[in-house]
Amino acid sequence: MTHPAQLARRRWCGLGGAVLAGLASPWVHATPRTTSLQLQAGIGLKADSPQGRGLAYFAELVAARSNGSLRIDVHTGGALGDDLTMIERVRSGAQAITCPDSSTLAAKVPGFSVINYPFTFRNEAEADHVLDGPWGSSFLSRLGEHGLVGLSYWENGFRHLTNNRQAIADMSGIGDLRLRTMQNQMLIDSFAALGFEPVPMPFPQVHAALALGQVHGQENPLPTILSSRFYEVQKHLTLSRHVYSAFVLLIGKPAWESLSPDEQALLRRAAIDARDAQRRWNREVAASALEQLKAKGMQVSVLSLHDAERARRRLRPVLEKYHRQVGLSNVVELYVQLSRLRNAQGLLDLPAP
Ligand code: KDG
């Protein structure tokens, strides 16, 4: 049976690669197809989340810049499965595109876990700087051996704790609080070291698990707590900024290889332009989310810098166990990049890992 990718390639080559000169707008490098190629895309967050808006914008750019030759069919809210499921669907060719949290890619490329090292990035600018440079690109390039093409990093954001049991202000006296975590062993071990009972769980199950009391809490960026309506089932919010989370916009090798070189370049460019817009939207929503969550009745505590540093030191033995697994050179290089950036800004350095 002819693989869809081969069929698509034939449709493109069937044109003999004829360049319809004069039709190209500044963006249309790709030779138009006789019939448009549909690329199915799925994410876990809702359409009105910054992740959903970013994917819709990416689809808009691709359709406009290919003059309709390439169409991205967007599915949100976990309609095509959870992150790990969609990653496998993309690898197999059942789906073309997804955008999981980078932590869920660590099973394939362990270095991705370093992005989620707790209490590491001070702000979004630091994350942008290292993710969009050689350090972050090195992880994207390693996805190739797993049947994936990493197009760009988008922003999930700084993560905060919510729970239904108690106000948590200093990460002590947590007791047996069952905390839903992402499916990443470094994060699971880190939350256990802080005294939580970690419960790894796919994202689409989280709201129901909180409502049923199967878990007492979870942790996510403010835009997700808002768009996924966790305020309906969570009373306490701790502004902890304990982890910075990135999304990775992925396309599977089967879909990628059905595209012409010019179409691939068009997608890469659109992934960068959509990244910049998605990060802007994410930060705008994060800036206004706290007041909205308070208005929804959430009780807010703030983790002080002192207590964040105490938590970071408590996690040092856990992270040292992971340095080798994630690649000690990846950890060292991250701190070298951050030190250079902070020195250039005249900021004192945080102690090394
Ligand atoms: O597709 C949505 C998930 O990738 C995102 O919600 C991941 O932060 C995440 C979580 O907590 O699972």
Does ligand 1 come within 6 angstroms of the Cβ of 126? no
**How far, in Å, is the centroid of ligand 1 from the Cα of 101?**
6
Q: Please tell me the number of Cα atoms within 13 Å of 183 on its side-chain side.
A: 15
The predicted pLDDT at position 340 comes to 95
Does ligand 1 come within 6 angstroms of the Cβ of 225? no
User: What are the tokens at 176?
Assistant: 């047996």
**How far, in Å, is the centroid of ligand 1 from the Cα of 35?**
34
Q: Which amino acid is at 129?
A: H
Does ligand 1 come within 6 angstroms of the Cβ of 103? no
The predicted pLDDT at position 214 comes to 98
- pTM here is 0.90
CA dist 327 → 130, 143, 151, 211, 335 (Å): 16, 16, 22, 39, 13
> What is the dihedral sign for C-alpha 209, 213, 219, 222?
positive
Helix (H) or strand (E) holding 39: strand 37-42
**Residue minimizing CA distance to atom 2 of ligand 1:** 44
Does ligand 1 come within 6 angstroms of the Cβ of 83? yes
The alpha helices in the chain, defined as continuous H runs, are 4-13, 50-65, 83-92, 124-131, 134-141, 185-193, 206-211, 222-227, 253-256, 261-295, 305-326, 328-344
**Residue minimizing CA distance to atom 7 of ligand 1:** 101
Q: What's the start-to-end Cα distance of the chain, in Å?
A: 53
Ligand 1 atom with the smallest distance to the CA of 218 is: 11
The predicted pLDDT at position 30 comes to 65
Q: How many CB atoms are located within 10 Å of the residue 256 CB?
A: 22
Q: Strands 178-181 and 197-200: what pairing?
A: parallel
Task: Among 76, 115, 156, 218, name the best residue to mutate to test ligand 1's pocket (greatest count of ligand atoms within 8 A of Cβ).
Answer: 156
Does ligand 1 come within 6 angstroms of the Cβ of 80? no
User: What are the tokens at 293?
Assistant: 């969550």
The predicted pLDDT at position 192 comes to 96
Per-residue pLDDT of the chain (353 residues; tens, 9 = 90+): 444 444 444 444 443 443 333 333 344 456 678 899 999 999 999 999 999 999 999 999 999 999 999 999 999 999 999 999 999 999 999 999 999 999 999 999 999 999 999 999 999 999 999 999 999 999 999 999 999 999 999 999 999 999 999 999 888 778 789 999 999 999 999 999 999 999 999 999 999 999 999 999 999 999 999 999 999 999 999 999 999 999 999 999 999 999 999 999 999 999 999 999 999 999 999 999 999 999 999 999 999 999 999 999 999 999 999 999 999 999 999 999 999 999 998 876 555 55
**Residue minimizing CA distance to atom 5 of ligand 1:** 101
The predicted pLDDT at position 175 comes to 77
Sheet harboring 70-75: ordered strands across? 70-75, 37-42, 97-98, 244-252, 148-158
Helix (H) or strand (E) holding 257: none
Task: Among 101, 105, 227, 247, name the best residue to mutate to test ligand 1's pocket (greatest count of ligand atoms within 8 A of Cβ).
Answer: 101
Q: Strands 148-158 and 244-252: what pairing?
A: antiparallel
The predicted pLDDT at position 2 comes to 44
Ligand 1 atom with the smallest distance to the CA of 247 is: 4
Q: What angle do CA 195, 198, 201 make, to 5 degrees?
A: 165
Does ligand 1 come within 6 angstroms of the Cβ of 44? yes
The residue among 84, 246, 72 whose CA lies nearest residue 159 is 246
Task: Among 203, 218, 225, 249, name the best residue to mutate to test ligand 1's pocket (greatest count of ligand atoms within 8 A of Cβ).
Answer: 203
